[in-house]
Amino acid sequence: MSDKNTIVFDHVEKTYQKNTVIRDLNLTIPAGQRLILLGPSGCGKSTTLRMIAGLEEITGGELRMGGRRVNEVPSGKRDIAMVFQNYALYPHMTVQENITYALRVHKLDRAELQTRLHSVLEILGLEPYAQRKPRELSGGQRQRVALARALVKQSRYLLLDEPLSNLDAQLRVQARKELVKIHELYQQTFVYVTHDQVEAMTVGQRVALMNQGVLQMVDTPYRVYNRPANIFTAKFIGSPSTNILDADWADGVLHIQGQQIRLPDCWSWLAERSGEKELCLGIRPEHIRLQAGRAENSLIGTLRYVEDYGNKRGIYVDVGGTEVVCMSDQVPCAPGETVSFQLDSDHLHLFSRATTNSLGYPEEVMESDGTQWDSRDELLSYGTSA
């Protein structure tokens, strides 16, 4: 796929009267990539998609598609295809008429039209329904018709605005797989809006997370989950979300709710390097090891209650007035009793309390700094740095 299909937001802003909904957006979507725009309701993700589609005017900055500035280019001249949340099918037309409507308007050669039609009908399993009207279809079938109508245009850019939100859970799983297969076949530049993090993580090659009109992080699903750039990303991704504990760094020790824990040497080095004293410690529920009673170099809390998820249990622990959620196969003790938990040193997160941004991750920061450790055992060993 040529770079001519790349999308670039260059300091883009969008305001409605005095309300700014997109703030200084800088984002590059490489040609042929599946990018997910993710975030809570009202974060600006649909507005961003609509600016690509030409359905929203750009207040400031520049949007380039295929190397061309398109701020003033009308939607019909951007070579896009779009799938909407409500499918937007014509109720009086058959499935095949809905799919080919845009091609007929543009007077595409009849033989080419039929070739494209039969191709998408076959790919999406819609051949038995070609002569039916939308009212005769299930929600999943209507969704596939809307997708077929977008695919048949063979546009360079495929834009999807929460296309699966009207489907039940089982159909959503099936539809996600179909979307990935279709993209692998057509290799269009694919931009997908959702508030569902499961969709984002399973469909996207990269995830762009937004909040209040500001881009928070853009990276692979793995890194968004395991290497969050800030506290918002850490808490938004994952269910239950990441535990965040206020922590003060002094004398090589983290002070948390009146308790002290020593960090592995690499994390101590990172905390010292940052110059930050007021930190936040992040740890995901699945990366906490619980045990009854007290243990050395562990946080101590009181087990409050347990949620049974079938294959796992969510264990809620009070640590000095802060609730910490742990995921475990077994419950170590009864509610009201003391528990301790050690933190998995491979899965810690340290954030600046002032900026909420991550301090980074030891092995990555050390590599960029050229810092050398004799071995991974030394890198992860407990105790203060020399």
SS3 291: strand
User: Burial level of 378, CB count in 10 A (0-12/13-18/19+)?
Assistant: exposed
What does the pLDDT read at residue 246? 96
Residues 76 and 216 placed together within one structural domain of the fold: yes
245 and 228 in one domain?
no
What pLDDT, on the 0 to 100 scale, is given for residue 176? 87
103 within a domain of the structure (yes/no): yes
Q: Cβ neighbours of residue 14 under 8 Å, at least 6 residues apart? A: 20, 21, 22, 44, 47, 51, 56, 57, 58, 59, 213
Is 323 part of a structural domain of the chain? yes
**213 and 247: one domain?**
no
CA gap 265, 379 in Å, rounded: 6
**113 domain residue, yes or no:** yes
Indicate whether 14 and 31 sit together in one domain. yes
Is the same domain home to 16 and 164? yes
232, 250, 278 — which closes off a domain? 232
Q: 232, 262, 296 — which closes off a domain?
A: 232
> Do 201 and 267 belong together in one domain?
no
SS3 content of the chain, % helix, strand, coil (to 5): 30, 35, 35
CATH number at residue 324: 2.40.50.140
Yes or no: say if 26 and 20 are a contact pair by the CB < 8 Å rule. no
> Is residue 207 located within the same domain as residue 348?
no
Find out whether 203 and 176 touch, Cβ atoms under 8 Å: yes
150 shares its domain with 291: no
The structure tokens 């245009």 sit at 153
DSSP state of 241: P
9 and 89, same structural domain? yes
68 neighbors 158 (Cβ within 8 angstroms): no
Asked if the structure places residue 37 within a domain, the reply is: yes
Print the domain residue range for 364.
240-380
C-alpha 45/C-alpha 22 separation (Å) is 9
Question: Do 78 and 185 sit in the same domain of this protein?
Answer: yes
In angstroms, the CA 194 to CA 172 distance is: 12
Whether 94 contacts 130, CB under 8 Å: yes
In-domain check, residue 83: yes
pLDDT of residue 344: 82
User: What pLDDT score was predicted for residue 383?
Assistant: 36
Number of domains the chain is built from: 2
Boundary (domain end) residue, out of 214, 232, 250? 232
Question: CA 150, CA 129: separation in Å to the nearest integer?
Answer: 17
What predicted TM-score, i.e. pTM, was given to this entire model? 0.88
Answer yes or no: is 108 within a domain. Answer: yes
Q: What does the pLDDT read at residue 341?
A: 87
The pLDDT score that the predictor gives to residue 1 is: 43
Judge if 204 and 333 occupy the same domain.
Answer: no
Q: Beta-carbon neighbour count of residue 218 at 10 Å?
A: 19
CA dihedral of 256, 277, 211, 324, whole degrees rounded to 10: -10
- Does residue 174 sit within a domain? yes
Q: What is the pLDDT along the chain (386 residues), one digit of tens a residue?
A: 446 789 999 999 999 988 999 999 999 999 999 999 999 999 999 999 999 999 999 999 999 999 999 999 999 999 999 988 887 899 999 999 999 998 999 888 999 999 999 988 988 889 999 999 999 998 888 888 998 898 899 899 999 998 888 778 887 888 888 888 889 988 999 999 999 999 999 999 999 999 999 999 999 999 999 999 999 999 999 989 999 999 999 988 999 998 999 998 889 999 999 999 999 999 999 999 888 888 888 899 999 999 998 888 999 999 999 999 999 888 888 889 999 988 888 899 999 999 999 999 998 998 887 776 654 444 554 333 33
Phi–psi pair at 354, nearest 5 degrees: -75, -45
205 and 97 share one domain: yes
Residue 385 belongs to a domain: no
* CATH classification of the domain holding 10: 3.40.50.300
